Amino acid sequence: MLVSVLNNAAMVVTGTPDQISNHVNQHVGRHRLVMSGPQQSAARLSLCDFADLGLSRISYGNQVRIACPDLEDIYHFQIVMKGQCQWRFSDTEMLLQPGQALMMNPGEKIDLTYSADCEKLIVKIPESVVRNTCIDHLGYAPKAGVLFERKVVNLQQSKSFLSCVEAMFYEASDDEVCLNGISETYRELLVRKLLNTFQNNIQEVTSPNANEDRTLQKALEYIETNIRENLAVEELAMVAGTSVRSLYNLFSQRLSITPKLYIKQRRLAEIHRELKHNTAIRNVTEVALDYSFTHLGRFSSCYKEAYGELPSETLKRRQNGR
């Protein structure tokens, strides 16, 4: 399983566990290493950056205990490839075997022990990447952020997921120039696979009861059909067959967002998609006005807050083939 990925990574380091730990602190995340027994020079770390993701493959060659105060604003997707790894939380412990994986949320403390033969793949995913993927494809993200349940998943039972991970790791360590958009496609596919494979609070807010489902579905379909228009909440409520107040309550309860903010996020997501992939788009003003953003300065500010860059920068990257 994933036996040869990252063999050609940009950075491959071998040495003692302490030496590898120093590189992990610099490139993967701050942590503290405690040895169990004498150090052996059998540790190895492979690192690669790919489409805002940090990919790493790590083995310490010794039994070690790793402690990390928290993951700050990143998620860790970790897969055990060999040996075993024990996670300790305040209320439970988990022992992961080869083929098993766990999602770690931002802010969670890490306390785990590697067996001497343990080898893991770690994908470091910025919180903004997960949030923006949710907004792009669902139109919203939970107010408190996406939170994955603390449950072990056996990836050997999901061949398509493993194939996706393997392909991304191979692509990341390939020396050839990545074609425009391919790296982002892999990143988007991985995050969507994670959201579908690991239970999370997105799934909780997308299962309304039958009556609410029909009302919400009418509203969401109308928004998608008229996404370029300057929609009013009153118009949306009338189409959905409910009052404005009830519509606000429904969006708040089910999507943790207001109708106005949902519409704005969906319009921003469509513009983001257009700027990345629509070669007919030549300037930002054109696409902003097309989606009923008339205050261009405010639009640029909202876009940067959502995607971490100005719309002109997204367009420039696409035009430059990056």
Q: Domain 11-202 - what CATH class?
A: mainly beta
Give me 321's structure tokens: 């083939």
Average pLDDT for 240-253: 88
Distance CA 153, CA 18 (A): 30
Report whether pLDDT(13) > 90. Answer: no
Q: Residue ranges per domain, the chain?
A: 11-202, 208-319
Report whether pLDDT(322) > 90. Answer: no
pLDDT of residue 75: 94
Picking from 316, 317, 292, 288, the residue whose alpha carbon sits closest to that of residue 300 is: 288
Report whether pLDDT(187) > 50. Answer: yes
Adjacent-strand bridge partners of 75: 125
pLDDT-based confidence at residue 320 (cuts at 50, 70, 90) = confident
Give me 283's structure tokens: 């300037």
Distance of CA 113 to the CA centre of its chain: 25
pLDDT-based confidence at residue 2 (cuts at 50, 70, 90) = low
pLDDT of residue 63: 93
pLDDT tens digits for range 260-274: 988 998 999 899 888
Report whether pLDDT(179) > 50. Answer: no
Structure-token match 């969670």, residue found: 108
Distance CA 243, CA 224 (A): 20
Q: Domain 208-319 - what CATH class?
A: mainly alpha
pLDDT-based confidence at residue 165 (cuts at 50, 70, 90) = confident
Largest interatomic CA distance in the chain: 72
Beta strands in 136-191 (DSSP E): 153-154
**Sheet containing 110-114: order of strands:** 32-35, 64-68, 110-114, 85-88, 93-96
Q: DSSP labels for 43-80?
A: EEEEEEEETTEEEEEEE-SS-EEEEES--TTEEEEEEE
pLDDT-based confidence at residue 29 (cuts at 50, 70, 90) = confident
Beta strands in the chain (DSSP E): 11-15, 32-35, 43-50, 53-59, 64-68, 74-82, 85-88, 93-96, 100-104, 110-114, 119-126, 153-154
According to DSSP, residue 90 is labeled S
Structure-token match 């027994």, residue found: 37
Report whether pLDDT(278) > 70. Answer: yes
Q: Which residue has the higher pLDDT, 280 or 256?
A: 280
Distance CA 297, CA 300 (A): 5
pLDDT tens digits for range 91-102: 889 999 999 999
